[in-house]
Amino acid sequence: MSKFFGYILTPIFYIFFGLILCIFHPIQWICYKLFGYKAHKTSVDMLNFFLTYCQIFLFNSISFKNEYDLPTDRPIIFAANHQSMYDIPSLIWFLRKYSAKFISKIELTKGIPSISINLRLGGGANINRKDNKQAISEIIKLGRRMKENNWSTVIFPEGTRAKDGMVKQFQFGGIATILKAVPNALVVPIAIENSWKIVRFGMFPLTTGHALKWTVLKPIEPGLKTPNEITLEAETEIRKVLEQEITL
């Protein structure tokens, strides 16, 4: 039934999703050019509020749970599993207080309304996956901006989306690179549930009636831990929420 209703509701979802992207594209440009970074960030936050709650057109519910009093005067590395592109708007919206930035493919900086302009102006890292030197350099620059501005970043240590919802083994390279530039960053795991189900059949039809969940887990103080140990701890805690065992 979820797939059946998807055939009916997916076009409605895409119409509203696309309209929101088109409407906020000039809004972002005006905010940035006339009023600067803070106004631009506010416009991006509002953009992602509407993108997040577009899920109502698919009858998908949104739940974000955070029981921890996370600092706003210290950079944070949010380490999350990754299930679909719909993970991202909700992370931007719910983590807006922490000025969370993303590491994105450089190809996305052109041609996508609202998304591309935000990637160019928002302060994240846009990396060329075919150029390892450029990628590391951009991530280090992001770390420096985090340190200077008390920004945070969201990283997906799996490296790619888990299309079946099963968590892939986390890679420690991204966390290690950021921690070199901002060693006082707090590492906070986030477990994402069920967003993979939306795209289980690809772009069309999207499926309906899912409980989409984002759960902030216990922060990890880097201290004397190695990046490998930190990454494994984050992966383990996320797997506990998803009830998946680590396979090495």
pLDDT tens, 223-245? 888 999 999 999 999 999 988 64
Over residues 151-161, mean pLDDT: 90
**What is the β-pairing status of strands 211-216 and 61-65?**
parallel
Tokens of 220: 């990890």
C-alpha 91/C-alpha 8 separation (Å) is: 27
What CATH fold (topology level) applies to the domain 2-242? Glycerol-3-phosphate (1)-acyltransferase (3.40.1130)
Over residues 122-145, mean pLDDT: 88
Tell me the pLDDT band of 161, cut-offs 50, 70 and 90. confident
Over residues 204-218, mean pLDDT: 96
C-alpha 59/C-alpha 6 separation (Å) is: 10
Burial class (CB in 10 A: 0-12, 13-18, 19+), 189: buried
Position 245 scores a pLDDT of 47
Nearest 5°: CA angle at 230, between 215 and 226?
Answer: 170
Task: Name the least confident of 3-7, 24-28, 30-34, 211-215.
Answer: 3-7
Over residues 132-151, mean pLDDT: 90
C-alpha 134/C-alpha 137 separation (Å) is: 5
pLDDT at 97 over 80: yes
Tell me the pLDDT band of 248, cut-offs 50, 70 and 90. very low
% of the chain with per-residue pLDDT over 70: 98
pLDDT at 90 over 50: yes
Over residues 153-171, mean pLDDT: 88
**What is the β-pairing status of strands 211-216 and 152-155?**
unpaired
Any idea where the domains of the chain sit in the sequence?
2-242
Burial class (CB in 10 A: 0-12, 13-18, 19+), 45: middle
Q: What is the dihedral of CA 103, 136, 178, 97, to 10 degrees?
A: -20
pLDDT in tens, 99-116: 999 989 889 889 899 999
Cα radius of gyration rounded to whole Å, the chain:
18
